[in-house]
Chains A and B, each alone.
Chain A
Amino acid sequence: MNGLKNPRVIGTLVVLLLLALTPVVFGNENYIMRVVTVGLCSAIAVYGMNIILGFTGQLSLAQGGFFGIGAYAVGLLTTDYDWSFWSAFAAAVVGTAVIGYLSGLIALRTKDEYFAIFTMAIGFIIYLTISRWESVTHAHSGVNNVKFPEGGGILDFSTPTAMFYLVFVVLLVTVYITFAIRRSSVGRTLLTIRTSEDLADAIGVSVGMSKQLAFAASAVLGGVGGAFYATVVGFIGPDAASVDKTFEFLMFILVGGMGTVAGPLVGSMIVTYLFEFFQDFQAYRFIVLGPIIIALVIFAPRGIVGYLGGFVDKRNRKKRVEAARSEANSKSSAPHDTTDASASTHAERTK
């Protein structure tokens, strides 16, 4: 499974390359640039969700809230307090890390469905705080004229293309981090936790601390996504922190593929396109979109990337089987690589 021969790595690279070319093709289409850039911001947050969900199997539904905290940190600090974007951004990272860590302390005591609904409650409390704490957040009036990132005189991030590449680079860093985590000992630890927490505990893996870190990291990425979302859109309202946002993210993950590197990105782009495409149906679009969503999770439970990955696995297995046969020593196909999350996701918690 090494380097450039791995079809998964190639696939991921192709997706990234295609995206990198977007401004070349659509540079003058403000609408497409906007939708894609907003999609990338969501993708960053979705990667955050993927850390905790894809690697530990715990579903955090507070991500919309963390996204909102990041967005409001940048929004409020660059307007009411006149900070520069980058210092506000740093504050957003620190803020979500602290809040993420603290809520993780309680949230991680719970498991499975309790964890999911508990984090949903956390997300909802964040949303209610933002939408009701009028003296600080301006509640439903929202925050207007959020600053663009300062380019230090060299770069002008107020153009859609520059902004796109900025967010894109941040996303690349995010993807790299996800990839690196998966390869690192922490990543293996997380995957062990997903397979069996009791086992992990028994063989001496520090379950609590690993989960705690994963949760904080996932919150930070949510905040980073929100921070860039605020500057891309220029105006934010409480809907940036709503529970609907979380479900949107969850949809991105599932459509793209849980626990895969390219999944969240592919999912974000595809679902964003689907939603925009069906705009022409106006009020009736969800009559079509609802069943499509259901069909996707039923028929492609491992997401699009996982689905394509399935072909790769099949081919690999065939190769291995043939190799084994030719050796005329059929001890049969090798068991699966444990790091191969995309393939084993489906079997999760079916026991």
Chain B
Amino acid sequence: MTLFIQQLFNGFALGGVYCLAAIGLTLVFGVLRIPNLAHGSLYMLGAYVTYFFLTTVGVPYVAAIGIAALVLFCLGILLERLVFRPLQNSPHTHHMIAAIGAMFFFQAVAQAIWGADFRRMETPISGSLHILGAEISAQRIVIIVTAVVVLALLTWFIKRSIHGQTIEATEQDRTGAALVGINPSMVAMLTLGLSALLVTIAAGLVAPINLLSPTMGDSLNLKVFAIIILGGLGSLPGAIVGSFVLAIAETMTSTYISSAVGEVIAFVVLVAVLAIKPTGLFSKAVQR
């Protein structure tokens, strides 16, 4: 039972990470209708930039994540402007390849700047809590709490603020949004920037419990895609539910069956769900 509770918390922490990464990706899909395969490398860059400000510059942990998130926000805008904008009239295959090109580029740049060696990011958050016999480290609790707070802020931003509402409007009806005077290219840039910002927060939180390396985004990339497809492309609640479902499925199967099963489970669940409901759990009407 202790093991179960322990793993449940580990699953929630993992779900929080997936969630922060998946939301950005699904937003980008909803607005720009592109599967951004470079998302994992934005996560990786976010972690390295946080590391740079924390270790090399020496600002406090939370500030380092904040600055890195802003840096990545700008990078996301640049990515939209330089790579995806010129492709806005191309089929999504072209976006995929362009995103892969960007991914290669980001990884090579990170390796050129920070080297291929693993790096460790120290965190000021230490200690752990005992809950029902399970030992939960403070960093993981911070991850869960931050995920919830960021989700709440994001929902507020999209539902209440004027910029956020333009995102939602564009997501729901692009032509309609353009007709009422929303500038679609501004929204596109804002969305990609926002997704890079969110994924940086995820990276800044996970980096201390894992290691930094130029390829750290690769394994996350595939999983996050599985999540947003499972939840229904472009759907925020779908991404949230998908993240926690897959994270808990992953920890539980690797605990009670085997680690190899834990690794494929995300994709097996995905195949099963899509076989029954081909547009994901929370699909919305597909925009044509």
Contacts and interface: CB of A to CB of B under 8 A. Distances in A.
Q: Do chains A and B touch in the complex (CB under 8 A)?
A: yes
A283 B112 contact: yes
A128 B29 CA distance: 27
A110 B274 contact: yes
Interface size range of chain A in the complex: 35 or more
Contacts of A125: 264, 267-268, 271
Contact of B108 (A106, A109, A285, A349): A285
Contact of B35 (A109, A113, A243, A286): A113
Interface stretch (B50-58, B65-73, B96-104): B96-104
Contacts of A283: 108, 111-112, 116
Nearest to A106: B275
A60 B35 CA distance: 14
A343 interface: no
B108 A284 contact: yes
Given A109-B275, A251-B100, A297-B90, A121 B226 contact: yes
B227 to A, nearest CB: 10
Contact of A290 (B86, B102, B264, B270): B102
A351 interface: yes
A299 B248 CA distance: 44
A26 interface: no
Nearest to A345: B91
Interface in B102-151: 102-109, 111-112, 116
B229 A287 contact: no
Contact of B107 (A121, A254, A286, A301): A286
Contacts of A286: 104-105, 107-108
A254 B94 contact: yes
Nearest to B105: A290
Interface string B17-29: 0000000000001
B97 A297 contact: yes
B177 interface: no
B278 interface: yes
B139 to A, nearest CB: 29
B90 A106 contact: no
Contacts of A250: 93, 96-97, 100
Contacts of A117: 35, 225-226, 229
A176 interface: no
B222 interface: yes
A235 B106 CA distance: 31
Contacts of B286: 112
Contacts of A124: 222, 267
Q: Which of A53, A112, A117 gathers the greatest number of chain B CB atoms within 10 Å?
A: A117
A7 to B, nearest CB: 25
Interface string A249-263: 011001000100000
Contact of B97 (A111, A251, A285): A251
Contact of B222 (A57, A243, A345): A243
Given A290-B104, A298-B98, A114 B91 contact: no
B contact face: mostly helix, strand, loop, or mixed? helix
B160 interface: no
B260 interface: yes
B108 A112 contact: no
Given A112-B92, A125-B264, A286-B108, A118 B98 contact: no
A294 B89 CA distance: 15
B109 A287 contact: yes
A348 interface: yes
Contacts of B102: 290, 294
Contacts of A293: 97-98, 100-101, 104
Interface in A79-120: 106, 109-114, 116-118, 120
Interface string A300-323: 010000000000000000000000
A298 B86 contact: yes
Nearest to A117: B229
A106 B267 CA distance: 14
Contacts of B264: 125, 128-129
Nearest to B96: A250
B94 A301 contact: yes
Nearest to B280: A114
Q: Which of B29, B35, B91, B268 gathers the greatest number of chain A CB atoms within 10 Å?
A: B91
A350 B33 CA distance: 11
B112 A297 contact: no
A48 B93 CA distance: 16
B275 to A, nearest CB: 5
A293 B237 CA distance: 35
A74 B189 CA distance: 48
Contact of B92 (A247, A290, A349): A349
Top 7 closest pairs, chain A to chain B, by CB: A290-B105, A293-B101, A286-B108, A286-B104, A290-B104, A294-B101, A110-B278
8 contacts: A109-B278, A111-B278, A121-B226, A125-B267, A287-B108, A290-B108, A297-B101, A301-B90
Interface of B: 29, 33, 35, 83, 86-87, 89-94, 96-98, 100-109, 111-112, 116, 222, 225-226, 229, 233, 260, 263-264, 267-268, 270-271, 274-275, 278-280, 286, 288
Given A290-B104, A294-B105, A297-B98, 11 more contacts: A59-B92, A112-B286, A114-B229, A118-B270, A118-B274, A129-B264, A251-B100, A283-B116, A287-B109, A293-B97, A297-B94
